Amino acid sequence: MTLELPLAPTLRERPLTVLELTEGAKRVLEQAFPAAWVEGEISNFTKQSNGHWYFTLKDPFAEVRCAMFRSDNRRLPAEPENGLKVYARGRLSVYPARGAMQFIVRDLLATTEGGFYAIALARARQALEKDGLLDPARKRALPPFPGVIGMVTSPDGAAWRDVVAVIARRWPLVELMLIPARVQGEDAPRDLCRALGLANRFEGLDLLIVGRGGGSKEDLWAFNDEHVARAVAASRVPTISAVGHEIDVTLTDLVADLRAPTPSAAAEKAVPDRMEVLRYLASLEAGLGVSAGRRLDAAGTRVAHAQSRMAVAAQGRVRDAAQRLREAGLRMHAGCAAITEVRRAHLERLAASLDALSPLKVLERGYSVARDAAGRVLRRVGDFPPGLSFRLRVVDGEVGARAETGA
Amino acid sequence: MKATPDGTAPGSPPPSLQADLARLEAIVRALEANDLDLDAALALFEEGVGRLRNARERLATAELRLKQLREAAGGGDVDDLAG
């Protein structure tokens, strides 16, 4: 007897392969849930060495396996921890190799205020605080007149342009050095750390500004990265952190020596204002002028006094001298005149005397002078022997004469 | 700052603006103290006027220099950047 075994079944349709089944399920599920937000709590979180995250999303009644691939999770600032309540956006799918339904998460938000950013910030902040890097006593004074200012930022960003413009206007006496770095995106933290390190290896830098212009919280996130904050805190050169707008405060702001609300404000804090220094110079000049002036005034007054006294004295003396000269001149003149006069008078007197004494005058009155042949004047009777021939000088000439009788 | 604090060391680069300012302040204080003889006061005044002129010239003629630091073997290299 042979055992009647059922014949090999002949199915009216070809059976599906497991792969076909799971692929079919996958297709159906993916079409039914192209994208959806799901709310739940994270558990069984694991991170693979390739960077993918796996976890379970659950609520009190159900759970679903989730995967979040590296390409998506690297945009998040922090890893979730078990128990975290989240909104997960993704699509439902099937992983055929395990036949498991899974939710492929593209976006993950913590339901708490600040989300993952707050979580990451809190963690980084705690770590920095533990190392004393947030201690306000660490903050150093900025150099009052920096010679070389470095700025770690994007070469294409508004921050660099703003800083250049402000410093060119306020204080173009510096050398402004760009240390280019990417300031947003997943490479930004590493790039910022590299640039900060490079800046600090450069000798001669007096001040370092690190920052970027405004953007979304996510755009600014690199400046909340713990490594970046540590690199800023480790800077040998005093730092100013200037990230985004007024309201944005980042970890680099907390560890830098000075926080500026914007890059333009950082530039204003980095350098003095040329106009203010010019005004200060003017006040110094005034002080210089006043004190030197006072000093000089006092001296000048004395000099002026001395000068005028000297002038008066000199004038007096000159006047005296002139007077004396004049007088001397006069006297001299007068003297000369007098002398001449005296002489003239004398001469006249002499002339008068001469005139008076002139024998011609006597002759004019009718007298005559008798002279012998030898010219001797015959004055007395005895000078006339009888018969003596003599000559008589009368007023207008001589005549010959002879004595006739004796006395 | 690379200049010496008072900027007066022989052979040093010309005194920085900071040095000029510090010296000017000292000169004004010395003149205000009024215990100098006239020659010394005049010499200080002359120096002050020179330093004022120097500082003003610096402020008036300064042009911002832009550089870029880039990675090089063993540190950084500096390139000039157009303003």
In a domain, A12, yes or no: no
In a domain, A293, yes or no: no
Q: Residues B55-60: what's their mean pLDDT?
A: 86
Amino acid type, B38: L
C-alpha–C-alpha distance, residues B20 and B23, integer Å: 5
In a domain, B58, yes or no: yes
Q: Which residues of B touch A285 (CB under 8 A)?
A: 48, 52
Q: Which residues of B touch A150 (CB under 8 A)?
A: 69
Task: Tell me: pLDDT of A116 over 80.
Answer: yes
Do residues A129 and A24 both lie within one domain? no
Do residues A140 and A242 both lie within one domain? yes
A288-336 confidence digits (pLDDT tens): 777 766 666 666 666 666 556 655 655 555 566 556 555 655 554 554 4
Do residues A46 and A188 both lie within one domain? no
Task: Tell me: pLDDT of A54 over 70.
Answer: yes
Do residues A99 and A215 both lie within one domain? no
C-alpha–C-alpha distance, residues A40 and A29, integer Å: 20
Whole-Å CA distances, A198 to A11, A150, A195, A206: 73, 11, 5, 14
**pLDDT at res. B6:** 44
C-alpha–C-alpha distance, residues A232 and A208, integer Å: 9
Number of domains in chain B: 1
Do residues A195 and A218 both lie within one domain? yes
State the Rg of chain B over Cα.
Answer: 18
Do residues A228 and A134 both lie within one domain? yes
**pLDDT at res. A76:** 87
A248-270 confidence digits (pLDDT tens): 789 999 999 999 999 999 999 99
**pLDDT at res. B8:** 42
Q: Name the most confidently modeled range: A231-240, A364-373, B4-13, B70-79.
A: A231-240
Residue of B nearest to A205 (CA): B1
Instruction: Extract the tokens encoding A18.
Output: 């497991």
The enclosing domain of A39 has a CATH number of 2.40.50.140
Domain extent for A54: 18-111
In a domain, A67, yes or no: yes
**pLDDT at res. A304:** 61
Task: Tell me: pLDDT of A401 over 80.
Answer: yes
**pLDDT at res. A303:** 60
Do residues A133 and A104 both lie within one domain? no
In a domain, A52, yes or no: yes
Strand order in the sheet with B75-81: A258-260, A239-243, A207-212, A148-153, A175-180, B65-72, B75-81
3-state helix/strand/coil string of chain A: CCCCCCCCCCCCCCCCCHHHHHHHHHHHHHHHCCCEEEEEEEEEEEECCCCCEEEEEEECCEEEEEEECHHHHCCCCCCCCCCCEEEEEEEEEEECCCCEEEEEEEEEEECCCCHHHHHHHHHHHHHHHHCCCCCHHHCCCCCCCCCEEEEEECCCCHHHHHHHHHHHHHCCCCEEEEEECCCCCCCHHHHHHHHHHHHHHCCCCCEEEEEECCCCCCCCHHHHCHHHHHHHHCCCCCEEEEECCCCCCCHHHHHCCEEECCHHHHHHHHCCCHHHHHHHHHHHHHHHHHHHHHHHHHHHHHHHHHHHHHHHHHHHHHHHHHHHHHHHHHHHHHHHHHHHHHHHHHHHHHHHHHHHHCHHHHHHCCCCEEECCCCCECCCHHHCCCCCEEEEEECCEEEEEECCCCC
**pLDDT at res. A237:** 96
In a domain, A340, yes or no: no
In a domain, B1, yes or no: no
Number of domains in chain A: 3
Q: Which of A275, A309, A344 is the last residue of a domain?
A: A275
Do residue A147 and residue B1 have CB atoms under 8 angstroms apart? yes
Task: Tell me: pLDDT of A155 over 90.
Answer: yes
In a domain, A7, yes or no: no
Do residue A176 and residue B67 have CB atoms under 8 angstroms apart? yes
The minimal CB distance from B69 to the residues A179, A292, A299 is found for A179
Q: Give the pLDDT band (50/70/90) at residue A66.
A: very high
A178-203 confidence digits (pLDDT tens): 999 999 988 999 999 999 999 999 98
Do residues A137 and A237 both lie within one domain? yes
Beta carbon pairs, A and B, within 8 Å:
122
**pLDDT at res. A17:** 92
Do residues A141 and A195 both lie within one domain? yes
Q: Residues A235-247: what's their mean pLDDT?
A: 93
Domain extent for B36: 17-81
The minimal CB distance from B45 to the residues A172, A194, A288 is found for A288
Q: Give the pLDDT band (50/70/90) at residue B10.
A: very low
Min Cα–Cα distance to chain A from B49, Å: 8
Q: Which of A228, A244, A275 is the last residue of a domain?
A: A275
Do residue A274 and residue B59 have CB atoms under 8 angstroms apart? yes
Do residues A107 and A124 both lie within one domain? no
In a domain, B5, yes or no: no
Do residues A79 and A202 both lie within one domain? no
First and final C-alpha spacing in chain A: 256
**pLDDT at res. A245:** 85
Q: Give the pLDDT band (50/70/90) at residue A163.
A: very high
What share of chain A has pLDDT > 90, as a percent? Answer: 48
Do residue B24 and residue A278 have CB atoms under 8 angstroms apart? no
A21-30, A91-100, A365-374, A383-392: which range is least confident on average?
A365-374
Q: Residues A361-386: what's their mean pLDDT?
A: 81
The minimal CB distance from A173 to the residues B17, B49, B67 is found for B17
In a domain, A289, yes or no: no
Do residues A268 and A128 both lie within one domain? yes
Residue of A51, A65, A56, A59 whose CA lies nearest to A93: A65
Task: Tell me: pLDDT of B3 over 50.
Answer: no
**pLDDT at res. A309:** 62
In a domain, B74, yes or no: yes
**What ipTM score was computed for the predicted complex, to two decimals?**
0.76
Q: Which of A111, A129, A145 is the last residue of a domain?
A: A111
**pLDDT at res. A52:** 96
In a domain, A46, yes or no: yes
**pLDDT at res. B11:** 46
Amino acid type, B36: L
β-strands A148-153, A175-180: how paired? parallel
C-alpha–C-alpha distance, residues B59 and A172, integer Å: 8
The enclosing domain of A268 has a CATH number of 3.40.50.261
